[in-house]
Amino acid sequence: MLAEVQSFVQQKKPILFLGWAPHSMNERIDMTYLTGSTAETFGGDDGTATVWTNTRKGFEDDMPNVATFLKNFTFPVAMINQIMTAMHTQKGLSPRDAGLIWLKQHPDTYRDWLKNVTTTGGKPAAPAFEVALEGVKE
């Protein structure tokens, strides 16, 4: 389907197709999402969804450092689109490496994730993560 869409785009022909996010098509194709679907078609909010992290009762008391990280941890759709695009355009790039490269290029994201999170030694986690990112090849 996307090959056909890209063919139409290259020929500057309009095309209507079902797109979704996250997906690399959102980075590779100049497209506009239509709005106004009925709840019966895609559900409320034109099919958008939120994924929540749930933990067991008492987890925050038992593992406050991890709980802080999980509260800070978000995956914006644009981020996932961009990571998927890197995997699509750079053959052989693993999801892990694509994610690490993206994070290296977007330090504000992992700094927000690691705000008030510490290493097992009690030091701020962000500098330790940055040391680990030094080995990531872009």
The one-digit pLDDT tens for each residue of the chain (138 residues) are 889 999 999 999 999 998 888 899 999 898 998 887 777 887 777 777 888 899 999 999 999 999 999 999 998 899 999 999 999 999 899 999 999 999 999 999 999 999 999 999 999 999 999 999 999 988
Nearby residues of 18 by Cβ (< 8 Å), 6 or more positions away: none
Residue extents of the structural domains in the chain: 63-133
Return the CA Rg of the chain: 19
Q: What is the pLDDT of residue 48?
A: 79
Q: How many CB atoms lie within 10 A of CB 46?
A: 14
Residue in 2, 7, 39 with CA at minimum distance from that of residue 20: 2
- For residues 58-82, one letter each, b for 16 or more C-beta atoms within 10 angstroms of the residue's C-beta and e for the rest, the string is eeeeeeeeebbbbeeeeeeeebbbb
pTM: 0.80
Q: What is the pLDDT of residue 36?
A: 79
Q: What is the pLDDT of residue 43?
A: 77
DSSP tag of 29: S
Q: What is the pLDDT of residue 47?
A: 75
Q: What is the pLDDT of residue 97?
A: 95
CATH architecture of 63-133: 3-Layer(aba) Sandwich (3.40)
Distance CA 89, CA 61 (A): 43
Judge contact between 115 and 72, C-beta under 8 A.
Answer: yes
